[in-house]
Amino acid sequence: MADPATKHYDLDALSLKLVFGAIAVVAIFFLLAPTLIVLLTSFTSSASLKFPPEGFSLRWYAALADATQIQAAAWNSFVIAVATTVLSVVIGTAGALVVSRSRAAWARALDALLLSPLVLPALAFGFACLIYINLAGLTPSVPALIIGHTIVCFPLVMRTTVASLAQLDPGLLEASESLGGGALMTFRRVVLPLIGKGIAAGAFIAFMSSFDNVPVSLFLADARTEVLPIHMWQIIDNDLDVRTAAVSGVLVACTIVLMVLAERFAGLSRQIAR
């Protein structure tokens, strides 16, 4: 005969699972529903943004071939994102190596300082960047955008790299040193191959964050350096062009492909979960 206390515990556990399951379903719905609505709207045959779409057509995806301004903004975003990713990998990896090798108070303070862009309000940081470059006598430009994006993106690389370094066996470093390997050779032959997936995962996140960044780009971009998120925002604000939905569809498809590749070759979910 089953123990009543055990039955009561099983019912409580089942109720808890049902509650959390229902919350998860509702959260997933509200996260995915806007994206699904935009994707369905991008296939409309109507000349304006409407949901549900009046008919099915690929005309707005075909129209992107002649959208020179959208193409130019997308190219600016891509160039800035690539440059930001490269700088973020270099700075983030170097910062991770420094803070992970010491448990001293200064290392913890440096870690908090380098990761502080993640906790700062994005709009406040973008506005502060604008004030700073104006005080320095500079104007909004591609280099300013790259610097601004790098400041908010390199902590992402640093975080995943620190997690990878935490899994590194110190005995491997000692073995390399005992065999005559210098610091540079040990890093290149031992450390880098073992933390490479963590760096790659951080690089992927940094690239996507830079490409989709609005707060910093809003303050540091001008008409000549307009990036895709800002250009789409202006189009929607002015005339609700359906091509923005088509661009969103292309971005969603590219993001899914990149995520699959990142998961396949870098184990993205495992690196983030560390």
Q: What is the CATH number of the domain that holds 96?
A: 1.10.3720.10
The pLDDT, as a whole number, for residue 139 is 79
CA 99, 100, 106: angle at the middle one, nearest 5? 35
The pLDDT, as a whole number, for residue 82 is 95
Domain that holds residue 106: 67-273
Whether residue 28 lies inside any domain: the answer is no
The pLDDT, as a whole number, for residue 272 is 54
Whether residue 60 lies inside any domain: the answer is no
pTM (2 d.p.): 0.81
Alpha helices in 167-266 (DSSP H): 170-178, 183-186, 192-211, 215-220, 228-239, 243-266
pLDDT at 1 over 50: no
Domain count, the chain: 1
Distances (CA, A) of 92 to 9, 25, 155: 47, 36, 6
pLDDT tens per residue, range 239-260? 777 788 888 888 888 888 888 8
Task: Give backbone dihedrals phi and psi of 44, rounded to 5 degrees, phi first.
Answer: -70, 155
Whether residue 96 lies inside any domain: the answer is yes
Whether residue 162 lies inside any domain: the answer is yes
Whether residue 29 lies inside any domain: the answer is no
Whether residue 151 lies inside any domain: the answer is yes
DSSP state at residue 47: S
Whether residue 78 lies inside any domain: the answer is yes
Whether residue 92 lies inside any domain: the answer is yes
The pLDDT, as a whole number, for residue 79 is 92
